[in-house]
Structure 1
């Protein structure tokens, strides 16, 4: 019978980089479910600053990147396999924050706020709403998802958590909500999967360079192994439809990457040539900006369920 495991952030289970040499903190079988709790993107510092909450200790000095829970080793996972991560539940904590600032200070590609801005939010998960904690009168509907879901790369590390990669990482795709199945290439034995960077809500593009960053009280993920060949990039089946995530140093490159994957999918599914699949893609594929905030830019191609039904 598949097992259910629990993993919470504490010294020894939280790290700030992807690295194939990190020892796994949990080993599971395919089919098992892991229920995580995760820290926010500031390792608890903004919870202390805005709400007087205790932060995570000991904190890495200097911080290396996002606070990731893991790595989780999946028995039987080998390079060339595909790790399917089914997202069952994503439940935020009671608070969060959003920041923006001068572009030259933030080293990001988001909009230039001209000055540092930090807004705290109270999260009402029962009502499904976020309300600002500063009397600004701001209210937003919650749509929680995890920003970072990824396997360890084969290349020796450490690797920054800020960049999305072929094996996943800081994807920041708002469509990866509960009900989604994310497919990630495996490059090292065991996959060595980690998760973090909880977002209570984010728009496509992550234009301010942060989402509504928050700790997560419950992130339930079920892990399965699929035979190869592995996709060139992360792909997902989501409530919004089939998603093909493209990555690049600029938006043109990321869009081309996502579009190429969608065309390949259509050609295989319909049994037609690439030129004909391009014609279908022009009618059936929606291109969206995933994020422009992470150094490596992301775009995704979306094929919605109604289109997939008619395509057969």
Structure 2
């Protein structure tokens, strides 16, 4: 897979390079924020492979199932007062040699494997229907079947009080466990809810909202077999991953997905031959553009404008032709409504451009 580029310049280092292993430890994660001031946890060259651990901040919802020694160290050794201004445990950052502001990082997600066979969904105070549910919060614990690649609810419990501290550890053995979703099997689709580069702002930037740097996009399609393009904002890019999920629907309406730690394998390629204004997703079938805004209307408009940019700049269509094609062939969907900044994605099939002559990998 490779983004169409009209400049005709060769990309850098497409062949796999060295492989690096990045474990998630209190020393290699940053909890709740992106920042250009974090020292790199790893330095790589373009084309290198990274096997990295992504840890869910909801492992404390069922610690007897979702903790191991490594996860427990992160939860117990990182001061809760420093888990701000966001909530997600981010592994990294990864410094890419030669990456400069304006370049693109092409991140090929190759594999995402659950660290254990359990995950948690929280119907949270930031969920879209919190008021309608009487301002109560509920945890549903799911068990994964790795052979069938499915999930089923194991039990549920009402969260005591209000979930406010990232990484809260619930004493679930004394909770009132209740049956949930009997007979329902859910397809598992492991993916990263949050990943991106460091913004060019010398202060902590919350991991909660998505933005042009990436962040909490919460698109379930960002899984194995997909490629993401992130625009570099600071030297080295400083790329981090976190907020791992094993399943989520578009909208993420209750506040979370099935949150579960993942072991991820990906390749990072430095691209200096094209630019794109927002995080761009490429799957074997589609290009998917992301738009963000304070309202769904604004997010929709931003997704539309960036899809138009893709069609004009990378497929050579006129503005009017691109606008018509978007209306008759692009699918728009609500990515999420629970991260403060709302998300809309626009999807268009790559196969439509196969006969244009320019829709080929740059060599």
TM-score normalized with structure 1 length: 0.92
Q: CA deviation at 1:45?
A: 1.5
Question: Which residue pairs with 1:289 in the alignment?
Answer: 334
| Structure 1: runs of 5 or more not aligned | none
Question: Which residue pairs with 2:122 in the alignment?
Answer: 99
Question: Which residue pairs with 1:29 in the alignment?
Answer: 45
Distance in 1 of aligned mates of 2:260 and 2:202: 30
Question: Which residue pairs with 2:26 in the alignment?
Answer: 11
Distance in 1 of aligned mates of 2:199 and 2:46: 20
Change (3 A) 1:311 1:119: farther
TM-score normalized with structure 2 length: 0.80
Q: CA deviation at 1:240?
A: 4.3
Change (3 A) 1:76 1:133: same
For residues 1-312 of structure 1, what are the structure 2 equivalents within 5 Å?
2-16=17-31, 17-42=33-58, 44-48=59-63, 55=72, 56-62=75-81, 63-64=83-84, 65-92=87-114, 93-101=116-124, 106=125, 108=126, 110-112=128-130, 113-114=133-134, 115-134=136-155, 135-136=179-180, 137=182, 138-216=184-262, 218-227=263-272, 229-309=274-354
Report the aligned-residue RMSD.
Answer: 1.9
Question: Which residue pairs with 2:171 in the alignment?
Answer: none
**Structure 2 contact 286–348 (Cα < 8 Å) conserved:** yes
Change (3 A) 1:270 1:53: closer
Distance in 2 of aligned mates of 1:177 and 1:261: 22
| Structure 2: runs of 5 or more not aligned | 1-15, 156-178, 358-363
**Structure 1 contact 11–57 (Cα < 8 Å) conserved:** no
Distance in 2 of aligned mates of 1:69 and 1:277: 38
**Structure 2 contact 60–67 (Cα < 8 Å) conserved:** no
Distance in 1 of aligned mates of 2:34 and 2:193: 14
**Structure 1 contact 186–230 (Cα < 8 Å) conserved:** no
**Structure 2 contact 192–243 (Cα < 8 Å) conserved:** yes
The alignment of Structure 1 onto Structure 2 pairs a total of residues equal to 305
Task: Flag the structure with larger Rg.
Answer: 2
Q: CA deviation at 1:49?
A: 6.6
Question: Relative CO higher for 1 or 2, CA cutoff 8 Å, sep ≥ 6?
Answer: 2
Distance in 2 of aligned mates of 1:83 and 1:190: 10
Deviates more, 1:228-237 or 1:241-250: 228-237
**Structure 1 contact 25–71 (Cα < 8 Å) conserved:** yes
Distance in 2 of aligned mates of 1:71 and 1:243: 25
Q: CA deviation at 1:58?
A: 0.9
**Structure 2 contact 196–213 (Cα < 8 Å) conserved:** yes
**Structure 1 contact 205–289 (Cα < 8 Å) conserved:** yes
> 1:211-262, CA deviations, whole angstroms, 9 ceiling, x for partnerless residues?
000011x201100011155311101211340011111111011111111111
